[in-house]
């Protein structure tokens, strides 16, 4: 445990199956593509996926759901073992299986089969909700949320509750701290308003009033998320930090899970939505629910992922599809316009940008006493929030050469007015065929200059900033 508040996830689990391959010909007996299968992956979906995503934060997660004695239920149990604690309700019937057939990454057809309903409510489920510090409800309309509705209504009066609705489900319980419909779901509930931000704002406020919810977050895909409140005229729009290219399946579960975790730890809905938007974008960019890293390690037993994302997974993913990995490095103690211009330019060189940043000890050895002005955690968070940055990774040494040997970028970028051949990293890059380049900085922008001006404005002595 990390000290983070535990979370109870309530909802319907299904077995998601992706059959992946390539299609280069049509069947001889029908105008249908023939898929040569290369991969067949089955994993928990619905509330099961939301629970796994919540457990990535390192917190204790309890999943209350209905499972049967069929093969799909057993596969879900195996996949969740070691990641979350299960509180099972009896399932009357078989667990739903949702199969997608994808050719070259694009869905061709989806096949649904199976399906049961909750047979009864167990005492263990009541105890789990009575002990809850926060609750996430993933209501896929299979009966779990409806069976526990009275208990959930009571829970919402005591602790933060996030409700992720779906078209086949029922309305959330009154008092929910946050409800997270997507644009299509909100439009189905409040039709004939159009697709403008103003229309979605009115829908969100109307739904918040109708449901008795403290806030409604309408997810709008690439446009971000609108956070609305009952009768409020000015919603908060939280844009995506960058355009995430990848499989969006499960992005809504990621958004709801991260928002619930933030509220469990005492965050405001505004803070929860901002964290959830960034996490959902990173989730999609990493491959969504098909990201192998999501299922290889039981996150509930390990540490949370770094705030700057996984640099090595990002590089491997881009390299696997034949893209260009770009990296740059520095202290980034006070981020200024020169840095932003450099990072924007570096990102345009390739298909991802990874920033290698000096640790606090490394920066102090390089710059001297009084540094860093901002600790590593803050520097990583600021860099990771930039739309041009795909991942951030820290290094403890005086130079990033050892890190680059493991990261192996195609292009290494530095800002300045010297030759690329003079860079100490240039020799390391040549070992694997990489290239070091220099980009110009914006004139007159520097951390030293910023610190000098701040000191003069404060009327104090110049800080020790070499």
Q: Which residues is 90 bridged to in the sheet?
A: 67
What whole-number distance in Å separates Cα of residue 440 and Cα of residue 356? 19
**Under 8 Å between Cβ of 300 and 261:** no
Respond yes or no: is residue 253 known to be catalytic.
Answer: yes
Query: Could you give the CA distance from residue 99 to residue 110 in angstroms, rounded to a whole number?
Result: 6
Whether the bond into 316 is cis, omega within 30 of 0: no
Supply 285's token pair. 């960019």
The DSSP code for 233 is: S
Residue 58: partners with Cβ closer than 8 Å, 6 or more residues away: 1, 2, 4, 299, 300, 302, 303, 304
Neighbours of 131 (CB within 10 A): 11
CB contact at 8 A, 162 and 260: yes
Cβ 455 vs Cβ 461: under 8 Å: yes
Distance of alpha carbon 270 from alpha carbon 235, whole angstroms: 10
The answer to whether residues 281 and 242 touch, using CB atoms and an 8 Å cutoff, is: yes
Indicate which residue of 253, 265, 351, 410 is catalytic.
253
Count of CB atoms situated within 10 Å of the CB of 271:
14
Contact 408, 326 (CB under 8 A): no
CB 91 within 8 A of CB 117: yes
Query: Partners of 40 in the beta sheet?
Result: 19
Distances in Å between the Cα of 340 and the Cα atoms of 114, 347, 404, 439, 465 are 52, 11, 22, 12, 20
Angstrom distance (rounded) from CA 40 to CA 38: 7
**C-alpha 74, offset from chain centre:** 27
Please give the positions annotated as active site. 253
């Amino acid at each position: 445990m990390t000290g983070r508040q535990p979370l109870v996830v309530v909802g319907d689990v299904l077995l998601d199956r992706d059959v992946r391959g390539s299609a280069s010909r049509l069947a001889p007996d029908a105008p249908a593509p023939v898929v040569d299968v290369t991969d067949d992956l089955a994993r928990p979906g619905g509330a099961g996926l939301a629970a796994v995503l919540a457990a990535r934060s390192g917190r204790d997660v309890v999943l209350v759901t209905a499972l049967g004695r069929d093969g799909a239920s057993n596969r879900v149990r195996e996949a969740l073992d070691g990641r979350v604690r299960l509180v099972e309700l009896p399932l009357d019937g078989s667990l739903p299986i949702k199969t997608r057939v994808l050719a070259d990454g694009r869905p061709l057809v989806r096949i649904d089969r199976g399906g049961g309903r909750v047979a009864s409510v167990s005492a263990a489920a009541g105890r789990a909700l009575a002990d809850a510090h926060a609750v996430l409800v993933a209501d896929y309309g299979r009966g779990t949320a409806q069976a526990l509705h009275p208990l959930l209504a009571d829970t919402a009066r005591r602790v933060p509750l996030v409700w992720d609705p779906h078209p086949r489900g029922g309305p959330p319980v009154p008092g929910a701290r946050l409800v997270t419909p997507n644009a299509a779901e909100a439009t189905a509930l409040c039709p004939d308003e159009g697709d403008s931000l103003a229309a979605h704002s009115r829908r969100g406020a109307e739904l918040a009033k109708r449901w008795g919810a403290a806030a409604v977050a309408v997810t709008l895909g690439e446009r971000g998320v609108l956070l609305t409140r009952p009768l409020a005229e000015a919603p908060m729009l939280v844009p995506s930090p960058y355009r995430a290219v990848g499989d969006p399946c499960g992005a809504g579960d990621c958004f709801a899970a991260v928002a619930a975790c933030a509220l469990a730890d005492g965050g405001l809905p505004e803070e929860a939505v901002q964290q959830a938007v960034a996490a959902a974008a990173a989730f999609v960019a990493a491959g969504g629910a098909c990201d192998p890293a999501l299922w290889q390690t039981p996150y509930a037993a390990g540490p949370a992922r770094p705030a700057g994302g996984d640099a090595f997974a990002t590089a491997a993913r881009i390299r696997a599809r034949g893209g260009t990995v770009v990296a740059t490095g520095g202290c980034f103690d006070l981020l200024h316009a020169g840095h932003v211009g450099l990072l924007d330019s570096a990102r345009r060189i390739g298909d991802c940008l990874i920033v290698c940043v000096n640790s606090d000890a490394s920066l102090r050895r390089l710059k001297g006493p009084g540094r860093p002005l901002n600790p590593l955690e803050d520097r990583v968070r600021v860099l990771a929030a930039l739309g041009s940055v795909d991942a951030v990774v820290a290094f403890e040494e005086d130079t990033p050469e050892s890190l680059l040997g493991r990261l192996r970028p195609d292009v290494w970028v530095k800002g300045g007015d010297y030759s690329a051949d003079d860079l100490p990293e240039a020799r390391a890059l040549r070992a694997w065929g990489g290239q070091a380049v220099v980009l110009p900085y914006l004139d007159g922008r520097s951390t030293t200059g910023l610190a000098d001006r701040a000191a003069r404005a404060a009327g104090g002595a110049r800080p020790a900033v070499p």
